[in-house]
Amino acid sequence: MKKNSERSAAMRFTMKLSILLTPFIALLVVYFLNDPFMVLRHYNRYDNSPVMLNEGYIGWQMYMNNRDSIAFDSFIMGNSCTMAYQCHEWEKYLDGGRAVRLFGNAESIAAISKKLQALERNGAEIKNLLLILDKESLGKDQLLSSHNHVLPPAISGISNFSFQEKFCQAFFFPNFLFPYLDYKIFHQYRPYMQGVINPYGAIRDAVTNDAINPRERMIRDEGEAYWENHKKEFVKARDCNYRNGEYREGERFLWETQTELLKEIDQICRKHNTSVKIIISPDYNQISINPADVEILKDIFGYENVFDFSGINEYTNDIHNYYERGHYRPILGARLLQKVYANHN
């Protein structure tokens, strides 16, 4: 009698547990079947996804997909402001070099060093390197670990299990799961999906990883009204000195750890006789990067290879060069490349 009672209780517990686990198992099946982050399987193309992807991972996969058919020897690295630099525009100055963009959102100099080491391990020719930096990226001396930023095992050295675990966990967070399921079911983009769902179609070139920014279409459609329609994106909250024409200088970001990472990057470039150009982005906020940081960069990479476009200047004065406060356009990127390579034969 007692055994029957215990068996019955165990069965009830198993049934309740099964009911509780069923939604989780169903979602897990959805995750493995749909592979929303495009990390579970290999893909020939990564240029058109409904989900905002990990740019560091995607860029590396695109490079690996194409490196046997295209002799990439020139690399654009840095943070999301690399969107202003098109490979075909840079290639004008490279004497036949072939370029690809290997960037990461909120990229750190630690990640740049790791990517160069990975290229070296893979036998890549590193003929040219264009680094797009700002004060924040210079200050980051650690790899970022969230699913949006974690580097693939081939670069970071972490286990594949640890890498995949981050994406699986991110899938179950409500701030991703709800917008994703909503979009998968109804195929309709809603404002709360921003940062999770990509409603624009192709946002990167399938070979070079050049940015295809939907805001260029908006500017073509709206004309001058674009900057009026998006003026809230150009206002920095609680800053009474915002773009008032007075010189402002950022704090120092380069200390011992950051400087050592920059020296690691330089050592790899010297080993490969790499032509390095460093562009410090023209910050719309018109805050000049700290001169001490610029001096360190010039000491390591050469005075002729570091170009500081931060602060108040002809580039930052013109709002038409910007999509919003944080990112500038390829029309400005092309002008800066022309300035950088002014003495190019």
User: pLDDT for 232-264, tens place per residue?
Assistant: 999 875 555 678 889 999 999 999 999 999 999
Whole-number Å distance between alpha carbons of 159 and 151: 11
Spans in the chain with pLDDT lower than 50: none
Q: pTM of the full predicted structure?
A: 0.92
The pLDDT assigned to 48 comes to: 82
Token pair 């910007």 in the structure block, residue: 322
Of the candidates 181, 200, 208, the one whose C-alpha atom is nearest the C-alpha of residue 86 is 208
Whole-number Å distance between alpha carbons of 108 and 140: 5
Of the candidates 243, 246, 315, 245, the one whose C-alpha atom is nearest the C-alpha of residue 279 is 315
- The full DSSP string for 9-31 is HHHHHHHHHHHHHHHHHHHHHHH
Whole-number Å distance between alpha carbons of 139 and 304: 22
Per-position b or e across 74-93, b if 16+ CB within 10 A of its CB: bbbbbbbbbbbbbbebbbeb
User: pLDDT for 52-102, tens place per residue?
Assistant: 999 999 999 999 999 999 999 999 999 999 999 999 999 999 988 999 999
Rounded to a whole number of angstroms, the distance between the first and last alpha carbons of the chain is 95
| Structure-block tokens of residue 1 | 């009698």
φ/ψ bin of 106: left (φ > 0), alpha (ψ from -120 to 50), beta (otherwise): left
The pLDDT assigned to 24 comes to: 78
Under CATH, which architecture does the 57-147+206-340 domain have?
Answer: 3-Layer(aba) Sandwich (3.40)
The pLDDT assigned to 3 comes to: 53
Of the candidates 167, 58, 106, the one whose C-alpha atom is nearest the C-alpha of residue 327 is 106
Contact 253, 138 (CB under 8 A): yes
The angle formed by the CA atoms of residues 187, 190 and 191, to the nearest 5 degrees, is 155
Sign of CA dihedral 183, 56, 80, 68: negative
